[in-house]
Amino acid sequence: MAYDDVLISIGQFGRYQKRIYLLLCLPAISCALHKLSGVFLQAKVAHRCRLPIDDDNSTYYILPNGSVESLFYPWDEGQGSWSTCLRYDTNYSSQYFSSGVPATSTVTCSSWLYDKSIYESTISVEWDLVCDRAWLRAISDSLLMLGVMLGSIIFGALSDRLGRRPIFFISLVLQVIFGVLVGISPDVYTYMLTRMVVGATTSGVFLVAYVIAMELVGPKRRMFTGVAFQLFFTAGFLVTAGAAYLIRNWRLLQIALTLPGIAFFSYWWFIPESVRWLLTKGRTEEAKENLRAVARENKKVLNESMLEDLCAQSEADRKAVVNGAEPIKRPSLIDLFKYPNLRKKSLIIFFLWFVNSGTYYGLSWNTSNLGGNEYLNFVISGAVEVPAYTFLILTLDKWGRKLILCGAMILAGLCLLATVFVPHDMQWLNIVLAMGGKLAISSSYGTVYVLTAEQFPTVIRNVGLGAASTFARVGGILAPYANIMAEVWTPLPLIIFGALALSSGTLALALPETLNKKLPETIEDGESFGKKEKKLVVEEKNCEEMVHLNSHKS
């Protein structure tokens, strides 16, 4: 007796599942706040070198003696503006100003004056993370994503051992504690390390909540609920923008985004332990009671004999594992690389995850480099995810996974690469193309989850998904270094992401379609999956050519 059979009998997405599902979706908003808040916490603020003749009353906008920038700063071709990192080396004498002839040699700035008309404070202002220290902003975001990767490994393993529920709450508590510590950090290094821990907790909260929610939902509703879960992350996008607009001090903003997480501590009395996990640990009585609670609230009759069969089967499987009685050796990651077709598909899938994650987070963090209103750019970047995920819900089971994935990635690549041809005076077009790329990559990121689960054979599916997720985290870790390239040339990050999206979307054309196909169960099935399809196409083509040739002869 399968667990899904029991779920079907008591309601696949009844009142009980909807209530728990909604509760578990809300912490996804909190995770989004912590992953995306760096756009405003670390915002690059307009700045200029503090000159030797600047006094305490000088500001970003007021130059000494009413002079112009050309007297003090060299022109930066890459940025298309006066340099913010170099100044002319001169004694700034009264004769110099009267002659109006600038010096020709330059020196590196040692301090700066910042434009505080948009941000009251950011870590970039407080700790001078500009010019040759700008790379610290990239390291901060990179360490955040390293924390996300470590958290998925650590909390994933602990949730399998100790249970989904306790790890979920431990992650919530740590997220609040370290979220506050980020806001009171005395220096940039403490800020980065505490934020890395917060990144790890987002995995413990988001992934564990996702697993509990999906394990409660019947098979026919998992695609919808899985995609809809992402929309709550998108809601976090919009909440982040609203909070940052109202709170312009980075320390207050960080604490304000963290403290609402305390409300989720109340879930201790509402969120049940995963029934699947309880069955694997032999806690059958708790599993039975949880399933009975689902049936009661859904107003369904639970067949007790079906429940007993499920528990008996789960207990037999558990004892077989404990006693080492499994007759078949479990496949490992190495098995994905032993066979040519499976190896090719695995490498393409891993590259797809790397590019999707890197491009998604890279574009999400890059909104301040697009020009125009930074808050509006960020809101649009989040809002485009709504039609992206809605599109998936409506088409994924109709048009197929491959068409949507390849089409979305190729479209994203073309949109992002097109930004290189946009003139400086057409900022609006640059923003439109970047947001078109963000919309497309959001669709492909949602699709790659489904396609990957269906490409890997059942016996190694979890291993394959875990490896793919690791490659995704690597993409997220490297994305900030692409974004920091905007310091050299503003369009460069979009060009990098566009080239990667276009190449990976093209490579994905080599993957077989999985919609309405019998999915692979064994390693042998995985190796042959897609081969027969290609062979059939070749045979049909040869047959058509032969018919055409014979008709021509006759």
Q: Are residues 544 and 470 in the same domain?
A: yes
Whether 325 maps to a domain, the answer reads no
Q: Which residues contact 123 (CB under 8 A, 6 or more apart)?
A: 41, 42, 129, 137, 140, 188, 191, 250
Number of domains comprising the chain = 3
Asked whether residue 162 falls in the same domain as residue 75, the answer is no
pLDDT for res 553: 42
**Which three-class secondary structure string do you get for 140-189?**
HHHHHHHHHHHHHHHHHHHHHHHCHHHHHHHHHHHHHHHHHHHHCCCCHH
Tell me how many degrees the CA angle 186-473-212 measures, rounded to the nearest 5: 95
pLDDT tens digits for range 76-110: 876 678 889 998 887 665 444 545 555 668 899 98
Q: 175 lies in a domain?
A: yes
pLDDT number for residue 191: 98
Range of the structural domain that residue 86 is part of: 47-115
Distance linking the first and last C-alpha atoms of the chain: 62
Q: Is 27 a domain residue?
A: yes
- pLDDT of 425: 83
Please tell me the predicted confidence (pLDDT) of residue 64.
67
What is residue 186's predicted lDDT score, i.e. its pLDDT? 97
Task: Specify whether 98 is located in the same domain as 225.
Answer: no
Q: Are residues 258 and 240 in the same domain?
A: yes
Shared-domain flag, residues 457 and 543: yes
Give me the residue label for tokens 């010096």. Answer: 103
Q: Is residue 328 situated within a structural domain? A: no
Q: Say if residue 436 is in the same domain as residue 388.
A: yes
What pTM did the predictor assign? 0.88
Same domain (yes/no): 253, 106 = no
Residues 225 and 349 in one domain: no
DSSP code per residue over 404-455: HHHHHHHHHHHHHHHGGGS-TT-HHHHHHHHHHHHHHHHHHHHHHHHHHHHH
What pLDDT was estimated at residue 538? 43
What CA–CA distance (Å, rounded) separates 176 from 498?
36
CATH of residue 372's domain is 1.20.1250.20
Together in a domain, 56 and 131: no
* 78 and 152 share one domain: no
Which segments in the chain show pLDDT lower than 70? 1, 64-67, 78-79, 91-104, 320-330, 532-554
Distance in angstroms (rounded) separating the CA atoms of residues 251 and 257: 10
